[in-house]
């Protein structure tokens, strides 16, 4: 499948995160401070809580439910360290942020 428009650059601020949806799939867009925009699975791999309800300080992402913590630049788990977020291919064309969600399965701790 091809890249599809997820949002516009104007919908985001550097150092923040926002969630969007494509075809019923929740996608978390993270813009780390001094980094590139990244698209991750929108639901926490622990118990499916929307990650956008958590906190992001420009570097570290913390789920609001049980404080699982992820590196915002890589999606790798910090606590616990044996988990990670699935990452979607993303590209920016003009003001449009495009992602390709096909072929990427969200990670879940208990699946």
User: 18-57 mask for ligand FES (x: CB under 6 A)?
Assistant: --------------------------x-xx-x--------
Q: How far is the CB of 93 from ligand FES (least distance, A)?
A: 32
Q: How far is the CB of 57 from ligand FES (least distance, A)?
A: 17
CA distance 67 to 28: 17
CB-based contacts of 99, cutoff 8 Å, min separation 6: 3, 4, 6, 22, 27, 39, 88, 89, 90
> 83 to 102, contacts with ligand FES by CB under 6 A?
none
């Amino acid at each position: 499948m091809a890249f599809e428009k997820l949002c516009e650059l104007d919908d985001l601020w550097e150092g923040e995160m926002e969630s969007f949806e494509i075809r019923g799939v929740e996608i978390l867009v993270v813009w780390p401070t001094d980094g590139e925009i990244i698209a991750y699975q929108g639901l926490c791999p622990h118990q499916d809580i929307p990650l956008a309800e958590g906190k992001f300080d420009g570097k570290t992402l913390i789920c609001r439910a049980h404080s699982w913590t992820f590196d915002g630049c890589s999606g790798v788990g910090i606590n616990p360290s044996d988990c990670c977020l699935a990452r979607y291919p993303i590209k920016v064309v003009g003001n449009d942020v495009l992602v390709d969600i096909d072929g990427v399965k969200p990670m879940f701790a208990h699946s």
